[in-house]
Amino acid sequence: MGLRMSGGGEYGNLPFTFEHAELARNFGTENSPCLRRKYGVIIADNYGEYIYAANTRVGKECTDKYCIRDMLGVQSNTNTEIGAEIHAEQAALIKWAKINISTYSYHILIAGTNHIGPLDGMQNKPCYACAKMIKFAGFDFIWMPFGDRIAPVSISGVIEEYEFTHQDI
């Protein structure tokens, strides 16, 4: 059963609704083992075909009780090689590559939560490595929740911001 994409609005035909952001957050919350932040990603087309992904633990550096990044004082969106997980964006792109479908006419949405609650706006932006992967996979925009609406953000702009501020490089 696919999700219905929205039509019309400020950006023309929107590929996502706020309901999609809630579904992505819920998927991340239910499926991510990360103690810091839980992200969900949806890759979808305009017809409701979609895949979900969440942060996935692949190593033993973290457990359900402690986070190696917290123990080492590593800030979010920096030194992403430290830790036991692959990011939700990476997991989504890996799933996408396995089904071997072009990203042309597909859209990607990222939504997350932390211990306080839902993340909003640019708090959902991907790390530098994920942003580059998303760009190289063929996506020009990422969709993120801003309050009670969904808006596109230029993936090139996210990459340039990291390069300008030298974050995570």
Distance CA 91, CA 97 (A): 10
CATH number of the domain to which 86 belongs: 3.40.140.10
Q: Is there a contact between 17 and 7 (Cβ–Cβ < 8 Å)?
A: no
Any idea what DSSP says for residue 11?
T
Q: Is residue 3 part of a domain?
A: no
Q: Does residue 1 form part of some domain?
A: no
Phi, psi of 47 (to 5 degrees): -105, 0
In a domain, 4, yes or no: no
Structural domain count, the chain: 1
Backbone angles phi, psi at 101, to 5 degrees: -120, 135
Beta-sheet strands, E only, within 30-132? 37-45, 50-54, 56-57, 85-86, 106-114
What's the CA gap between 109 and 95, in Å, rounded?
A: 15
Q: Which amino acid is at 105?
A: S
> In this structure, is residue 12 part of a structural domain?
no
Tokens for 23? 């579904």
- Whether residue 130 is contained in a domain is answered as yes
* Cα 77 → chain centroid: 12
Strand pairing partners for 113? 38, 118
Taking only the tens place, the pLDDT of each residue in 93-139 is 988 888 877 777 789 999 988 888 888 888 889 989 899 999 999 99
pLDDT at position 37 is: 83
Written as six digits, the tokens of 153 are 């953000």
pLDDT digits (tens, 9 = 90+) for 35-44: 888 888 998 8
Range of the domain at 120: 18-165
Phi and psi dihedrals of 164, rounded to 5?
-70, -40
In a domain, 25, yes or no: yes
Q: In this structure, is residue 11 part of a structural domain?
A: no
Instruction: Examine the pLDDT at 10 and tell me if it is beyond 70.
Output: no
Residues 6+ apart with CB under 8 A from 160: none
Asked whether residue 6 is assigned to any structural domain, the reply reads: no
Quick one: pLDDT band at residue 81, thresholds 50, 70, 90?
confident
